[in-house]
Structure 1
Amino acid sequence: MKTRKLFGALALSFLASSVMAAVSPEEAAKLGTSLTPVGAEKAGNAAGTIPEWTGGLPTNAAPKAARGFVGNPYAGEQAEFTINAQNFEQYKANLSEGQIAMLKRYPDTYKLPVYKTHRSVGYEQSVYDRIKTSALNTKLVDGGNGLENFAQSRVVAFPIPSSGIEVIWNHLTRYLGGNVRRTLVQATPQTNGSYTLVHFEDEVAYPNLMDGLDAEKSANALLFFKQRVTAPARLAGNVLLVHDSLNQVREPRKAWVYNAGQRRVRLAPQVAYDGPGTASDGLRTSDNFSMFSGSPDRYDWKLIGKREMYVPYNNYKMASPDNKYSDMLKAGHLNQDLARYELHRVWEIEASLKPGERNIYAKRRFFIDEDTWQILVSEHYDGRGQLWRIGEAMQYHSYEVQVSGNAAETLYDIIAGRYLAIGMNNEEKQPFQYGHRAAAAEFTPAALRNAGVR
């Protein structure tokens, strides 16, 4: 049964008063007791279809797959049932409007194979400690568009949220394992299924994990991001550099691009909000990256509440290095035979464009996993109020390094019948690499030319 409830009467009282304050020590004491250390409900649901959280998968949950990729701890499981265009009515209480639209748009091929629910996500104790500190100290400033007293270490700003803006900040500050280097692939299939792969080398670094970073420059820094295109040849050598801030109203995102053909570094103010995404064929905006990224200042954020929903989860099968990209990318949508959905509790928030602000999306809905604070499903509406694009993050947990990520992120254009898929890593030489120290000098405009050498 679909449930829509706010996190107790206390949350309502907070909404009616101030959303700027950190929680009290009494509230923070719930983390690790009635709540999990990240702020999820520890108990299972009344029906027994969502289990109690007991710490997540151990770091040795399954043998390694090929090339050191994470193994599938649920390889022996079979789908309990499949939701399709013929039977979705009996499950619609636990589906989003976007999921139903996809079932109707592709009645013969799009489906949701539903498996037993596992609360697989667990992090290191040091992460939990920092989250509790954040709960006690982090505050919203400038109308919710910035953070104050935040630890600057991707640890969830508001584990006990009381407003929609706090929930979206939790997605923006969720734990992603610290600095990471990764090779990944993007595709934008045509309606007939044909596509060209775009290959990227990405690096993400955080201010507290960087050497040589000026203290003044790091005071408002959230993260540093560098992305180099390695294929196809016409795009190879182009590099994007982004400096994201904790308060993008006070200090907007800074971005630069190096164009290998022109051999020039230029400021890139378009890499924000609804500016076009890199090599996306117009199928995503800059703020569609990572399901939602950048400043939240152009929207009013409404907390709808919590609900139980069938969402992409534990997609080890899709993330397997045994898959070829051609196995995954099909006409209209990903190969749903490789997908896995489970029933989980999610936070639902709705973003409405503020009067006088501009974005191609007038309204957006996000469904955010309580155990990771990752957006798992998104819906984007145009200026006429018509559902336009539906996003899915095909979540799985890299238990060996205790980091949750995605086998792929998709953004489906329900009107055009095309989609974008990004983040695939299956055919690459190695999985993502976590834990290195980054040098601030590598994340400067001056360093882009060297990074772009073909």
Structure 2
Amino acid sequence: MINKKSVILGSLLALSMASASSWAAVSPDEASRLGKDLTPFGSIRAGNDSGTIPAWTGGLTKPPAGYQGSGQHHIDPFPKDEVLFTINASNMDLYAEHLTDGVRAMFEAYPTSFRVPVYQSRRTHAIPEWVAENTRKNAVKAEVVGKGEGLQGAFGGYPFPILHGNREQKAWQVIWNHLTRWRGVSATRRSSEVAVQVSGDYSLVTSQQEAFFNFYNPEGSESELDNIIFYYLSFTQSPPRLAGGAILVHETLNQIINPRNGWGYNAGQRRVRRAPNLGYDSPIAAAENLRTADDTDIFNGALDRYNWSYEGLKEVYIPYNNYRIGKKGLPYSEILGTSHLNPDYTRWELQRVHVVEATLKEGARHIYHKRRFYVDADSWNTVLLDQYDGRGELWRVTMGIAKNYYELPGVWTVLDVYHDLQARRYHALGLDTEEPNTRVFTDAVPNKRYFSPASLRRRSVR
């Protein structure tokens, strides 16, 4: 029996191709480099010439002794690693070639407190073999649709492990690799976010988040995606003024066909309503306007309001393999400094990153006039992001504090942190060290009706 919805979707996809800016994907010969001189996810397998970045030798795929399974706060697999050196405001010029403008601005804004402890570089990212196999298939057929608005020809792996085309096309590919990066099949987490004031004061906003990454549905296929990358639910649990509220998101793969679908549940009115403004620079209430809707997950959503340019591969100090800051029982008061995270619990490493710049299109509206992305070449996580205002001044510096979740395996962020250099405040998202568990991953595929507006109403109880 033919699925009517699939037929309609297929017809729309075909129509969208009429305006697609597509180009030939890489050849099978080029794709055969994956797993050879390139890693299975497309980065350079070899280390750098100076030996400060090692060769990739398979990543971190086994947990250390004592780890009992998903949901347990992670045990540091590198407990004996020590700080090699520390970068601060007084010596940052010595390391300028490996520092982003945003990190340099943090030194200048907080010269007595902000510092970067640099550790041995470890390339821990890894992916399951089935994701690697899908990535090889995607390499020869994935295409960006339109002017970056959509993706087709990809499923269950990174769409563009080998970048190709002009600078604009490569930029789109990097961002789509970030948007569809491997983060498991399903994940749940109870965590808190805070907006830290100039005084250092903060109040927790705690929520339960649930996600099903439909793009990595092990029981599905590209034809069964129904244009959805992932389903996401978040239920606010405290403080009392926000408790009971909820957000449901269906993130779309081809936004020419259908932009993001979002719904919100208002506990006071006991009603589910469409949330058409859940995107771009819409402010997030729990973040006290320190994070926009498309800041979530460092970056998410549509690409259509910016002109994009790929600026190349660069060696940069980035927050990586951060296990100490996620240690069970570590008080939030120890993690959260007055102006930024406590550097004593952070770990930075020299790694290769793809640099992408986005400049607001003429006539388009967004509070950020320019954004510069630094995307980890192994995991395709955006780990640093510099954001500029309409005057061209650096305004906000975003950091994805990353580590390997060895139960997946794969690298994802522990905390996402948003620094406002003008307001001298910051926002931290993902605090869970005071919770009984951290993220729980499962390969279980939920019924998609679980992520429906009707289900949102039934499950939202104040």
TM over 0.5: yes
Paired amino acid for 1:287: D
State the superposition RMSD in angstroms.
2.0
Using the TM superposition, give the Cα deviation of residue 175 of structure 1 relative to its aligned residue in structure 2, in angstroms: 0.3
- Partner Cα distance (1:394, 1:367) in 2: 13
| TM-superposition CA deviations, 1:206-249 (whole Å, max 9, x none) | 33677999x99842111111111011111111000111111123
1:207/1:398 CA distance change after superposition, 3 Å: closer
1:27 is aligned to 2:48: no
Match of 1:416 among 411, 418, 423: 423
1:124 is aligned to 2:131: no
2:159 — aligned with what? 157
Paired amino acid for 2:311: I
1:9 — aligned with what? none
1:220 — aligned with what? 227
- Partner Cα distance (1:71, 1:335) in 2: 20
SS at match of 1:92: helix
1:4 — aligned with what? none
Paired amino acid for 2:448: A
1:439 is aligned to 2:447: yes
1:273 — aligned with what? 280
1:137/1:57 CA distance change after superposition, 3 Å: same
2:64 — aligned with what? 61
1:142 is aligned to 2:142: no
Structure 1, 233-242 or 140-149: larger mean CA deviation: 140-149
Using the TM superposition, give the Cα deviation of residue 61 of structure 1 relative to its aligned residue in structure 2, in angstroms: 3.3
1:20/1:425 CA distance change after superposition, 3 Å: farther
Alignment of 1:23-422 (within 5 A): 23-64=26-67, 68-151=72-155, 153=156, 155-162=157-164, 163-207=170-214, 218-422=225-429
Paired amino acid for 2:158: V
Using the TM superposition, give the Cα deviation of residue 283 of structure 1 relative to its aligned residue in structure 2, in angstroms: 0.5
- Partner Cα distance (2:371, 2:264) in 1: 28
Using the TM superposition, give the Cα deviation of residue 403 of structure 1 relative to its aligned residue in structure 2, in angstroms: 2.8
Using the TM superposition, give the Cα deviation of residue 429 of structure 1 relative to its aligned residue in structure 2, in angstroms: 1.3
Using the TM superposition, give the Cα deviation of residue 173 of structure 1 relative to its aligned residue in structure 2, in angstroms: 0.8
Structure 2, unmatched stretches of 5+, are: 1-20, 165-169
1:10 — aligned with what? none
Using the TM superposition, give the Cα deviation of residue 394 of structure 1 relative to its aligned residue in structure 2, in angstroms: 0.7
Paired amino acid for 1:156: Y
1:208/1:45 CA distance change after superposition, 3 Å: closer
- Partner Cα distance (1:85, 1:212) in 2: 51
- Partner Cα distance (2:323, 2:159) in 1: 28
- Partner Cα distance (1:219, 1:58) in 2: 32
Are the aligned partners of 1:249 and 1:297 in contact in 2 as well (CA < 8 Å)?
no
Structure 1, unmatched stretches of 5+, are: 1-17
Using the TM superposition, give the Cα deviation of residue 77 of structure 1 relative to its aligned residue in structure 2, in angstroms: 1.4
SS at match of 1:272: coil
Paired amino acid for 1:387: L
Q: How many residues align?
A: 435
Are the aligned partners of 1:291 and 1:409 in contact in 2 as well (CA < 8 Å)?
yes
1:12 — aligned with what? none
1:217/1:134 CA distance change after superposition, 3 Å: closer
Match of 1:428 among 429, 432, 435: 435
1:211/1:81 CA distance change after superposition, 3 Å: closer
- Partner Cα distance (2:134, 2:85) in 1: 39
Structure 1, 198-207 or 335-344: larger mean CA deviation: 198-207
1:450 — aligned with what? 458
2:9 — aligned with what? none
- Partner Cα distance (1:344, 1:371) in 2: 9
Using the TM superposition, give the Cα deviation of residue 428 of structure 1 relative to its aligned residue in structure 2, in angstroms: 1.2
- Partner Cα distance (2:138, 2:291) in 1: 32
| TM-superposition CA deviations, 1:104-154 (whole Å, max 9, x none) | 100011000000101111121111111111111211111221111121x3x
1:208/1:348 CA distance change after superposition, 3 Å: closer
SS at match of 2:455: helix
1:293/1:360 CA distance change after superposition, 3 Å: same
| TM-superposition CA deviations, 1:270-318 (whole Å, max 9, x none) | 1101111251101110000010001111111100001101000000111
1:11 — aligned with what? none
Are the aligned partners of 2:317 and 2:350 in contact in 1 as well (CA < 8 Å)?
yes
- Partner Cα distance (2:65, 2:138) in 1: 33
Paired amino acid for 2:314: R
Paired amino acid for 2:75: G
Paired amino acid for 2:79: A
Using the TM superposition, give the Cα deviation of residue 57 of structure 1 relative to its aligned residue in structure 2, in angstroms: 1.5
- Partner Cα distance (1:179, 1:304) in 2: 33
Are the aligned partners of 1:307 and 1:346 in contact in 2 as well (CA < 8 Å)?
yes
Using the TM superposition, give the Cα deviation of residue 68 of structure 1 relative to its aligned residue in structure 2, in angstroms: 2.3
| TM-superposition CA deviations, 1:341-393 (whole Å, max 9, x none) | 00000000000111121111110000000110000100000111111000001
Are the aligned partners of 1:212 and 1:439 in contact in 2 as well (CA < 8 Å)?
no
Paired amino acid for 1:102: M
Are the aligned partners of 1:277 and 1:284 in contact in 2 as well (CA < 8 Å)?
yes
SS at match of 2:251: strand
| TM-superposition CA deviations, 1:75-119 (whole Å, max 9, x none) | 111100000011101001100000000001000110000001011
Q: Under a length normalisation based on structure 2, what TM-score does the superposition of the two structures give?
A: 0.91
1:112/1:62 CA distance change after superposition, 3 Å: farther
Using the TM superposition, give the Cα deviation of residue 64 of structure 1 relative to its aligned residue in structure 2, in angstroms: 2.4
Using the TM superposition, give the Cα deviation of residue 58 of structure 1 relative to its aligned residue in structure 2, in angstroms: 3.3
- Partner Cα distance (1:217, 1:445) in 2: 21
